[in-house]
Amino acid sequence: MKIPSKQHLLTEQMGHAERVRRVALLGRDAAGTVELNNLLEQLQRGDSYEQINAIKLRANPIG
Protein backbone atom coordinates (compact mmCIF):
# COMPACT_ATOMS: atom_id res chain seq x y z
CA MET A 1 0.00 0.00 0.00
CA LYS A 2 1.32 3.42 -0.96
CA ILE A 3 1.52 5.78 2.01
CA PRO A 4 0.36 9.29 1.06
CA SER A 5 2.23 12.40 2.10
CA LYS A 6 0.78 14.35 5.01
CA GLN A 7 -0.29 17.10 2.61
CA HIS A 8 -2.05 14.66 0.29
CA LEU A 9 -3.76 12.80 3.13
CA LEU A 10 -5.15 16.02 4.62
CA THR A 11 -6.29 17.54 1.32
CA GLU A 12 -7.97 14.54 -0.32
CA GLN A 13 -11.51 15.49 -1.26
CA MET A 14 -13.78 13.22 0.78
CA GLY A 15 -16.36 13.36 3.53
CA HIS A 16 -15.64 12.72 7.20
CA ALA A 17 -16.82 9.10 7.29
CA GLU A 18 -14.85 8.25 4.17
CA ARG A 19 -11.70 9.91 5.58
CA VAL A 20 -12.03 8.00 8.88
CA ARG A 21 -12.36 4.73 6.97
CA ARG A 22 -9.42 5.60 4.70
CA VAL A 23 -7.18 6.46 7.65
CA ALA A 24 -8.22 3.33 9.58
CA LEU A 25 -7.52 1.07 6.59
CA LEU A 26 -4.21 2.78 5.98
CA GLY A 27 -3.23 2.26 9.61
CA ARG A 28 -4.21 -1.41 9.48
CA ASP A 29 -2.67 -2.25 6.14
CA ALA A 30 0.61 -0.40 6.62
CA ALA A 31 1.12 -1.00 10.35
CA GLY A 32 4.78 -1.10 11.32
CA THR A 33 6.16 0.26 8.06
CA VAL A 34 8.78 2.98 8.07
CA GLU A 35 6.62 5.10 5.77
CA LEU A 36 3.59 4.95 8.06
CA ASN A 37 5.73 5.67 11.12
CA ASN A 38 7.13 8.76 9.36
CA LEU A 39 3.61 9.95 8.50
CA LEU A 40 2.50 9.38 12.11
CA GLU A 41 5.41 11.44 13.42
CA GLN A 42 4.54 14.30 11.06
CA LEU A 43 0.88 14.22 12.07
CA GLN A 44 1.70 14.09 15.79
CA ARG A 45 3.75 17.29 15.45
CA GLY A 46 0.86 19.08 13.73
CA ASP A 47 -2.25 20.86 14.92
CA SER A 48 -5.10 19.13 16.75
CA TYR A 49 -6.78 17.97 13.51
CA GLU A 50 -3.55 16.32 12.39
CA GLN A 51 -3.02 14.76 15.81
CA ILE A 52 -6.54 13.27 15.74
CA ASN A 53 -5.76 11.70 12.37
CA ALA A 54 -2.61 10.18 13.90
CA ILE A 55 -4.74 8.65 16.66
CA LYS A 56 -7.10 7.20 14.05
CA LEU A 57 -4.15 5.71 12.16
CA ARG A 58 -2.97 3.97 15.32
CA ALA A 59 -6.43 2.76 16.43
CA ASN A 60 -7.04 0.32 13.55
CA PRO A 61 -10.75 -0.22 14.33
CA ILE A 62 -11.52 -1.97 11.03
CA GLY A 63 -10.98 -5.69 11.25
Q: What is the pLDDT of residues 23-50, one digit of tens each?
A: 888 989 998 899 999 999 999 999 999 9
Which region holds residue 32: left if phi is over 0, alpha if psi is between -120 and 50, else beta? left
Q: Is 39 exposed, middle or buried (0-12, 13-18, 19+ CB in 10 A)?
A: buried
pTM value is 0.83
* Segments forming the whole domain that contains residue 23: 14-59
Residue 24 inside a domain? The answer is yes
- Which residues touch 26 (CB under 8 Å, ≥6 apart)? 1, 3, 4, 36, 57
Q: How far apart are CA 10 and CA 53, in angstroms?
A: 9
Q: What is the pLDDT of residues 4-28, one digit of tens each?
A: 999 999 999 999 899 888 888 898 9
Residue 45 inside a domain? The answer is yes
Residue 4 inside a domain? The answer is no
pLDDT of residue 4: 93
pLDDT of residue 63: 52
Residue 5 inside a domain? The answer is no
